Structure 1
Amino acid sequence: MSNPRNAVSARDSHIWTLRVGFIMASALSAGLLVTIDNKQNDFNCHIPPDLSRGANIKPGELQAPNSYAFASNVWRSLNDWEHEGKVDYISNIKKYECYVTPTFFTWLKENAKQKEDAGELGRTRNLSMEDAYAEGMSTPMGNNVFAVTLTTRVHERIEALPIKDIIVRYPLRVVPDTRKCNAMGMSLDGFYAQPERTEVEHVQVEKK
Structure 2
Amino acid sequence: MSPFKHALAARDAHIATLRLTLGMMAVIILALGYGWYRAPQNLTIHIPPDLRHGSTRPWWDIPPGDIYAFTFYIFQQLNRWPNNGDNDYPQNIARLRAYLTPACQARLNQDWQQRKDRGELRERVRGVYEIPGRGFKPERVTVLSRDNWTVMLDLSVDEYYQAEPVKRALVRYPVSVVRFDIDPETNPWGLALDCFAGTPRRLEAATPETTP
With the shorter chain as reference, the TM-score category is 0.7 to 0.9
Rounded Cα–Cα distance in structure 2 between residues aligned with 1:82 and 1:49: 33
Q: Does 1:197 align with 2:202?
A: yes
Shift, 1:126, TM fit:
0.9
Q: Does 1:152 align with 2:163?
A: no
Coordinate RMSD, CA, aligned? 2.1
Picking from 181, 187, 193, the partner of 1:182 is 187
Rounded Cα–Cα distance in structure 1 between residues aligned with 2:189 and 2:156: 26
Tell me the residue number matched to 2:81: 81
Shift, 1:45, TM fit:
2.1
Tell me the residue number matched to 1:34: 34
Q: Following superposition of structure 1 onto structure 2, how do residues 46-195 of structure 1 map, counting pairs within 5 Å? A: 46-50=46-50, 54-122=54-122, 123-130=124-131, 131-180=134-183, 181-195=186-200
Native 8 Å contact 2:130 2:154 kept in 1: yes
Shift, 1:75, TM fit:
0.5
The secondary structure found in structure 1 opposite 2:138 is coil
Rounded Cα–Cα distance in structure 2 between residues aligned with 1:118 and 1:95: 24
Deviations along 1:37-63, whole A, 9 cap, x unmatched? 222232222334455664433233332
Q: TM-score scaled by structure 2? A: 0.85
AA partner of residue 140 (structure 1): V
Rounded Cα–Cα distance in structure 2 between residues aligned with 1:41 and 1:155: 43
Question: What runs of 5+ residues in structure 2 fail to find an aligned partner?
Answer: 207-212
Rounded Cα–Cα distance in structure 1 between residues aligned with 2:120 and 2:50: 40
Native 8 Å contact 1:171 1:191 kept in 2: yes
Native 8 Å contact 1:60 1:185 kept in 2: no
AA partner of residue 8 (structure 1): L
Rounded Cα–Cα distance in structure 1 between residues aligned with 2:12 and 2:38: 39
Classify 1:142/1:48 alpha carbon distance in 2 versus 1 (closer, same or farther; 3 Å): same
Rounded Cα–Cα distance in structure 2 between residues aligned with 1:196 and 1:50: 35
Aligned length: 201
AA partner of residue 162 (structure 1): P
Rounded Cα–Cα distance in structure 2 between residues aligned with 1:75 and 1:24: 54
Rounded Cα–Cα distance in structure 2 between residues aligned with 1:49 and 1:165: 35
Shift, 1:172, TM fit:
0.5
AA partner of residue 26 (structure 2): S
Tell me the residue number matched to 1:24: 24
The secondary structure found in structure 1 opposite 2:139 is coil
Native 8 Å contact 2:82 2:125 kept in 1: yes
Native 8 Å contact 1:124 1:156 kept in 2: yes
Native 8 Å contact 2:61 2:146 kept in 1: no
